[in-house]
Amino acid sequence: MKTVSTSKSHGGVQGVYSHASEACACDMTFAVFVPPQAKDGPVPVLWYLSGLTCTHANVMDKGEYRRLAAELGLIIVCPDTSPRGEGVADEKDNWQFGSGAGFYVDATQEPFAKNYRMYSYVTEELPALIAANFPADMSRQAIFGHSMGGHGALTIALKHPERFKSCSAFAPIAQPSTAGWSKPALEKYLGSDEAAWRAYDTTLLIEDGKRFSEFLVDQGSADGFLQEGLRPWLLEEACKKAGIGLTLRMQEGYDHSYNFISTFMDDHLRWHAARLG
């Protein structure tokens, strides 16, 4: 692991790091905020998964999480959204696929299977790196994310309910297997057999018996992707049928941007902190 940069913030340290990833077969970059409480011992870990076109830096620069994370004593881990670099297959003119659009899946189709293994990266490789190099209490983990990252957070929590004590999302893609901006990506990464897509679709995972204790979701009513891409009512229906607690808050007038995310970031941090102990 290499240190790209560190900077003191609210008594803690915001760092950016890189390493040679085995899962993604390329160098990967990620950000970690360590709060001041970590000097006294391990502290809880909150994972933030970003959306389409983003890197680790978007939430780090625009998410406004450090002040309250320092107050609450939370490590915030922000992975990248996809493999990158020379030799990594990409569609440079397609913002919904390839670089910046890994969809937190393990691709099975060539030429993407070599590098696009973001599910394994986020659930196996990067947690091991965090545990080995940071004052992280890995027995107290939570996860949240935005848009594509909200989809990632929800699906990962459903498949690892024993690991995460809480899960929330900003404007998640509720059913990516049928949404116009995600269905083509799933087919390219996973093949034409839609049965393989179910492992990466929140509503279908719930339909197939996966469970989590509760979710918090914020969604802007003025989000341009609401009707065709996000469709939170599908998540609401799936959770209701399964008996999963869902707090879905429609936020009047808010869009899909980091202005929306930063407005409600404190709410999510406090919600996770209460469940992390």
Question: Catalytic site residues?
Answer: 147, 223, 256
Alpha carbon 274 to chain centroid distance?
20
**What span, in angstroms and rounded, lies between the C-alpha atoms of 210 and 271?**
22
The answer to whether 260 and 220 are in contact (CB under 8 A) is yes
Residue 183 makes CB contacts below 8 A (sequence gap 6+) with 176, 177
Amino acid at 62: K
The answer to whether 58 and 154 are in contact (CB under 8 A) is no
Amino acid at 41: G
Query: Could you give the C-alpha distances from 221 to 173, 224, 227, 252, 277, in angstroms and in order?
Result: 15, 9, 10, 5, 32
The answer to whether 46 and 77 are in contact (CB under 8 A) is yes
For residue 95, what is the DSSP state?
T
For residue 229, what is the DSSP state?
I
For the chain, how many residues are written? 277
**What span, in angstroms and rounded, lies between the C-alpha atoms of 217 and 236?**
10
